[in-house]
C-alpha cells in the first residue's frame, strides 16, 4: 500500500467516528485503530513497506504504557479479560458499580464488558479500594488493558 493512501486512511479515521478500519489488498493487510480521543495506531505486516512510516504511530502505545507505569505501581490493576465495550453500570440510568474510593470484595462486580452483544460482568480479583478508574464509560477496551487501580 502506498504511503499517500495510508496517510489518507489514517487522517480519515482520525477525523471520523470510525474506531477501527481493516483493509486487505494484494500487498498485505493494514489495520488502523482509534482509541477514544487518543492517537491512531496502525498495524501492518512485517513485510509491508508502510511499516517504516507507521512505526512511530505503532510505538505510541509503548509510550502510553510507560506513562501509566508509575500509576500502576501505586496499586494492583483489574484488567480486561476480553476485547469489548466497557460499561460502568448495568444500564444507562443506573448508578455505576463502583466509584473512586469504593471498597470492593473479591468476586464483586466492578463493570460490564459487552462483547458480541453479550454483557459480561467483570469481577474484582482481589479485595481493596478503587483508587483510579482508567477507562471511560462506553470506551472500547483490549484484552489485558488495565481498567481500575485497586489497593
Clarify whether residues 118 and 84 are in a common domain.
Answer: yes
Say what the pLDDT of residue 66 is.
Answer: 42
**Domain total in the chain:** 2
**CA-CA distance, 72 to 151, in Å (whole number)?**
10
Clarify whether residues 84 and 139 are in a common domain.
Answer: yes
Most distant CA atoms of the chain, gap in Å = 53
State pTM to two decimals.
0.52
Clarify whether residues 44 and 112 are in a common domain.
Answer: no
Strand-pair partners of 51:
none
Which long-range contacts does 55-62 make (Cβ < 8 Å, 24+ apart)? 57/10
Clarify whether residues 76 and 144 are in a common domain.
Answer: yes
Clarify whether residues 94 and 130 are in a common domain.
Answer: yes
Clarify whether residues 85 and 140 are in a common domain.
Answer: yes
Which CATH number characterizes residue 90's domain?
Answer: 2.40.50.100
Q: In what order do the strands lie in the sheet with 118-123?
A: 118-123, 109-115, 84-87, 140-141
Is the residue at 65 inside a domain?
Answer: no
Cell of 134: 482508567
Map residue 32 onto helix, strand or coil.
strand
Clarify whether residues 51 and 75 are in a common domain.
Answer: no
- Owning domain of residue 101: 71-150
Strand-pair partners of 23:
30
Clarify whether residues 46 and 79 are in a common domain.
Answer: no
Clarify whether residues 87 and 27 are in a common domain.
Answer: no
Say what the pLDDT of residue 33 is.
Answer: 77
Clarify whether residues 77 and 144 are in a common domain.
Answer: yes
Is the residue at 64 inside a domain?
Answer: no
**Other Cβ atoms closer than 10 A to 89:** 14
Say what the pLDDT of residue 42 is.
Answer: 53
pLDDT digits (tens, 9 = 90+) for 53-73: 333 343 344 444 444 444 444
Residue ranges in the chain whose pLDDT is less than 70 = 1-2, 27, 35-74
Say what the pLDDT of residue 134 is.
Answer: 94
**Other Cβ atoms closer than 10 A to 37:** 7
Say what the pLDDT of residue 46 is.
Answer: 46
Strand-pair partners of 140:
85
Amino acid at each position: 500500500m502506498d504511503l499517500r493512501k495510508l496517510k489518507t486512511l489514517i487522517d480519515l479515521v482520525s477525523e471520523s467516528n470510525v474506531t477501527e478500519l481493516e483493509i486487505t489488498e494484494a500487498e498485505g493487510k493494514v489495520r488502523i485503530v482509534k482509541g477514544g480521543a487518543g492517537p491512531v495506531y496502525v498495524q501492518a505486516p512485517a513485510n509491508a513497506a508502510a511499516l517504516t512510516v507507521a512505526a512511530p504511530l505503532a510505538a505510541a502505545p509503548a509510550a502510553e504504557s510507560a506513562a501509566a507505569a508509575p500509576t500502576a505501581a501505586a496499586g494492583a490493576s483489574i484488567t480486561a479479560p476480553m476485547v469489548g465495550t466497557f460499561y460502568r453500570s448495568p444500564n444507562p440510568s443506573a448508578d455505576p458499580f463502583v466509584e473512586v474510593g469504593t471498597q470492593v470484595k473479591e468476586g464483586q462486580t466492578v463493570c460490564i464488558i459487552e462483547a458480541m452483544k453479550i454483557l459480561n460482568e467483570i469481577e474484582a480479583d482481589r479485595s481493596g479500594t478503587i483508587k483510579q478508574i482508567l477507562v471511560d464509560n462506553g470506551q472500547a477496551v483490549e484484552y489485558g488493558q488495565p481498567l481500575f487501580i485497586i489497593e
